[in-house]
Amino acid sequence: MKGLYTALMCSFDEKGNVNEKGLREIVRYNIDVQQVDGLYVNGSTGENFLISKEQKKQIFDVVKNEAGDDVKLIAQVGALNLDEAVELAQYATNLGYNAISAVTPFYYKFDFDEIKDYYNTILDSVDNDLIIYSIPALTGVNMNLEQFGELFENEKVIGVKFTAPDFFLLERIRHAYPDKLIYSGFDEMLLSASVLNVDGAIGSTFNVNGRRAKQIFELAQNGQIGEARELQKVTNDLIAAILDNGLYPTIKEILKVQGVDAGYCRKPMKALDAAGVKQAKQIAERHL
């Protein structure tokens, strides 16, 4: 399960329905062109928190059908509704996903015992492994080393998607739990995380920059830090330009430049105006 995983985008039509043809094209582009090791499905980048349970199932279906066994697949099933998270975990497991993942429960200020019960309830329902999705900036859930350790006591919890800039905590987790998988979640910090010996990364910009990200990771693993730093600089120039223009709609426009039917973002995300579309095309020309 080690390696680089794309936080997979989903193609939607103008009414917000899943564009199956476009989704299949995104899957194939990531596998065949970006050559990533796996796909992280129905995460934040897939606009997961804007879609219905049935749409989530549809996406799990289409991705598995298109990808087959070409790459590893991780299904993000986390939801505020625990019954839904359990149902999605069972659904993705039955489809043959290699692992499930779940964002920490958010919005309400859950205490750690509630968070732990959330994960254990999901895992009690399936015969599958789970990767914690920790993204404190969006969930407000900050867990310490001891709390990660408590979650890791469940042998089905095999690792964490660590989307946080706290590299002191990252190093402590790496040192304390060498057998658990740690995936870096911030694309712009891939090199820094790789130096701390993470097992891989999961990123949204890998949809268009996967090959370069994989080079950074492999160079760092081989101790070629200077070369990796140069590629991280090039990558961060790309990321800065994308963020300035609008993260998800810009990535979708760049995919369209590459001939991929990436569709639209779901509302309330706004579409790029004409100037934004032009800028996205220029970003693709300058940085890819």
The pLDDT-based confidence of 21 (bands split at 50, 70, 90) is: very high
Q: Does the annotation count 133 as an active-site position?
A: yes
Task: Kindly report, residue by residue over 236-276, the tens digit of the pLDDT.
Answer: 999 999 999 999 999 999 999 999 999 999 999 999 999 99
Say how many C-beta atoms besides its own lie within 10 A of residue 140's C-beta.
13
Task: Kindly report, residue by residue over 102-139, the tens digit of the pLDDT.
Answer: 999 999 999 999 999 999 999 999 999 999 999 999 99
Q: Return the domain boundaries, the chain.
A: 3-222
Torsion of CA 225, 74, 188, 137, to 10 degrees: -130
Over residues 61-69, mean pLDDT? 98
pTM score of the predicted model? 0.98
Catalytic site residue from 91, 97, 118, 133: 133
CATH 3.20.20.70 is held by the domain 3-222: yes
The encoded tokens of residue 93 equal 């497991």
Angle at 261 between CA 44 and CA 273, to 5 degrees: 75
CA distance 85 to 138: 19
Q: Does the annotation count 5 as an active-site position?
A: no
Catalytic site residue from 161, 180, 214, 256: 161
Percent of the chain with pLDDT over 90: 100
Q: What is the pLDDT of residue 88?
A: 99
Query: 140 in the Ramachandran plot: left (φ > 0), alpha (ψ -120 to 50) or beta?
Result: left
Task: Kindly report, residue by residue over 214-236, the tens digit of the pLDDT.
Answer: 999 999 999 999 999 999 999 99
Q: Which helix (H) or strand (E) holds 201?
A: strand 200-203
Q: What is the pLDDT of residue 260?
A: 98
Q: Which residues are annotated as a binding site for pyruvate?
A: 45, 202
